Amino acid sequence: MAPLIETAGPVALRPRPGHETRRPRDFRALRLRVPASVRAVPGARHRVRRSMIEWGWGEQVDTVELLFCELLSNAVTHAAVGARTEETVEVSIRQGPASLIVSVDDPGCAGLPVVADSPAEELAESGRGLLLVEAMASAWGCDRTRQGTRTWFALEEDMSPSAQEDA
């Protein structure tokens, strides 16, 4: 199995002269190239969780991890259908001053993902993922790209009383 390929780190920003240099959060980015295999999901999940902890997402780490896993699992499943075994899924996470955008690109050629009209049957093995994304994310969407499908979600910075004290 191919390893995760990663690029990460803070993005250096220089303030314009006369502008305040303090930012609520640093701008950061993480990119992963994940093998299109279900076996690769736990390693990618662990890497994203570790980054969210390092980046200070506090109580929202579990939400990011859950929603990320839903998108990645869907992407891996659809990339594997009819695709070559060397296919990969691209993950991009960008943190701005008060938000986080997570996108997952897969080479799958199936139609765009959709939210089910009603909750999935109790015993169904799938059908709940995008319901969770829709309910928990600030925004989400999907697009066709030249390479396949991009699905993404955004979360706003948690401004609970404890988060405001830290700011």
pLDDT of residue 104: 94
Is a pLDDT exceeding 50 seen at residue 156?
A: yes
Contact assessment for residue 73 and residue 66, using Cβ atoms and an 8 Å cutoff: no
> Where is pLDDT greater, at 20 or 66?
66
Residue 100 has pLDDT above 90, yes or no: yes
